[in-house]
Amino acid sequence: MQVRYNYRLYPTGGQRQALARAFGCARVVYNDGLRARQEAHAAGLPYVTDVELSARLTKAKTTLERAWLGGVSSVVLQQALADLNAAYRNFFASIRGERRGPKIGPPRFRSRKDRRQAIRFTANARFKILPGGKLRLPKIGDVPVRWSRPLPCRPSSVTVIQDSTGRYFASFVVESQVGELPRTEPVTGIDLGLKHFAVLSDGTKVSSPRFLRRAEKNLKRRQRDLSRKRKGSRNRDKARLKVARAHARVADARRNFHHQLSTTLIRENQAVAVEDLAVRGLARTRLAKSIHDAGWSGFVGMLEYKALLYGRTFIRIGRFEPTSRTCSACGTKDGPKPLHVREWMCPACGARLDRDINAAVNVARAAGLAVTACGAQVRPGVPPPAQRSETGTHPKSRRWSA
Ligand SMILES: [Zn+2]
């Protein structure tokens, strides 16, 4: 499977100009292609194929109007078209209902004001990591890189990104060997919550680490500062940049935390189960912002790919399982439990239940994992958890999986 490795880039002044030109050219090629397809569609003509778009690009480069495209690696331009084609394929798949997750709209025009600018070089662009550690990009130059961790093998492509705060990154795609970890016994259900980031079926409660809370606090302060600045003033512009930087720092801190936690969970467990988050269903509720802020879907995505990478089992259970109101001791379903109810007593068996741990145990059970209500001891004599391919036939997961 393919994994990404990201590193900070420190281009020189001249390289930054060359990158800005390349971002601009990629954008123009993307937008030209999009316009061609939109115009054909409006005129009732057939869909302009990928091959046709590519041919039109080659021809455009010979015209006076678009001759300047020749100043940029042609691979970058072809990759801009590839992005457009992928955007169309995803859009069509979404219309046909073949895609998981929320519906996606048709491709949109790219703007130089977009928060993220990106270009991609594939292997045939002959980008190269030099012995001294710089990254050689055709028609850009030898760009300094901060190698924060080793790149495991030769990358098949690199995307150069400029984010909203003006930082540059290189994102390498690497074909990763599935390195299975030695088999281990524990299995864990995970309840993602608002009070704690995650609660595990063995009773562990995981809160956001201090570095993330500090970054979030700083962001709030910056936002407050911004709201006090007069509209149109220069100080407001400065404050806005500070907010953007603080946002980026929160996003980085959160991603680091998610990486640390997901790696630990996958390492220590043979199988993990989470509830499929009702992100779409909650999109219009007050909870939506918290869900967005906590970045749960990003975290769940990491669990899923790391499980695949290390030979673990990842199970997503249906989002209508009543995990918070079923007693994990006797299985009795009780009435609804509003968010402020942190503890409740089962009317049938009298067990005192911690809302979140109880939910985590139920998540594990619904996924077919054998966990006990107190502690994640796997009961002896229980068959190993179902393999990935089998989980789809599990009645509880099939019912709700989209
Ligand atoms: Zn009970």
**pLDDT of 83-137, one tens digit each?**
999 999 999 998 888 877 678 889 999 998 888 999 999 988 889 999 889 999 9
What does the block give as tokens for 285? 């509720």
| pLDDT exceeds 90 at position 28 | yes
How does residue 19 score in pLDDT terms, banded at 50, 70 and 90?
A: very high
CA distance 277 to 279: 5
* Distance between Cα 354 and ligand 1 center (Å): 12
What pairing do the DSSP bridges indicate for beta strands 117-122 and 157-162? antiparallel
| pLDDT exceeds 60 at position 395 | no
Q: Are 197 and 211 in contact (CB under 8 A)?
A: no
Q: pLDDT for 53-62, tens place per residue? A: 999 999 999 9
Q: What are phi and psi of 317, to 5 degrees?
A: -100, 160
Q: What is the pTM of this model?
A: 0.64
* Distance between Cα 351 and ligand 1 center (Å): 6
Q: Is 32 annotated in the active site? A: no
Rounded-to-5 percentages of helix, strand, coil across the chain:
40, 15, 40
pLDDT for 346 equals 86
pLDDT for 373 equals 61
Task: Give the pLDDT mean for 339-361.
Answer: 86
* 118 three-state secondary structure: strand
How does residue 393 score in pLDDT terms, banded at 50, 70 and 90?
A: very low
CA distance 333 to 371: 19
| pLDDT exceeds 90 at position 273 | yes
How does residue 376 score in pLDDT terms, banded at 50, 70 and 90?
A: very low
pLDDT for 286 equals 57
Q: What are phi and psi of 40, to 5 degrees?
A: -60, -45
How does residue 399 score in pLDDT terms, banded at 50, 70 and 90?
A: very low
* Distance between Cα 141 and ligand 1 center (Å): 67
How does residue 385 score in pLDDT terms, banded at 50, 70 and 90?
A: very low
Ordered alpha helix ranges (H), 111-152: none
Task: Give the pLDDT mean for 4-27.
Answer: 95
Task: Give the pLDDT mean for 359-381.
Answer: 66
Q: Is 275 annotated in the active site? A: yes
How does residue 287 score in pLDDT terms, banded at 50, 70 and 90?
A: low
Point out the catalytic residue in the list 202, 275, 304, 321.
Answer: 275
How does residue 334 score in pLDDT terms, banded at 50, 70 and 90?
A: confident
Q: pLDDT for 290-309, tens place per residue? A: 555 677 888 998 999 889 88
* Distance between Cα 344 and ligand 1 center (Å): 10
382 or 398, greater pLDDT: 382
Q: Is 216 annotated in the active site? A: no
Point out the catalytic residue in the list 83, 191, 202, 321.
Answer: 191
pLDDT for 99 equals 77
* Distance between Cα 362 and ligand 1 center (Å): 12
pLDDT for 97 equals 84
* Distance between Cα 345 and ligand 1 center (Å): 8
CA distance 112 to 116: 9
pLDDT for 203 equals 86
Share of the chain above pLDDT 90, in %: 45
Q: pLDDT for 161-195, tens place per residue? A: 999 889 999 999 888 766 777 888 888 999 887 77
CA distance 92 to 89: 5
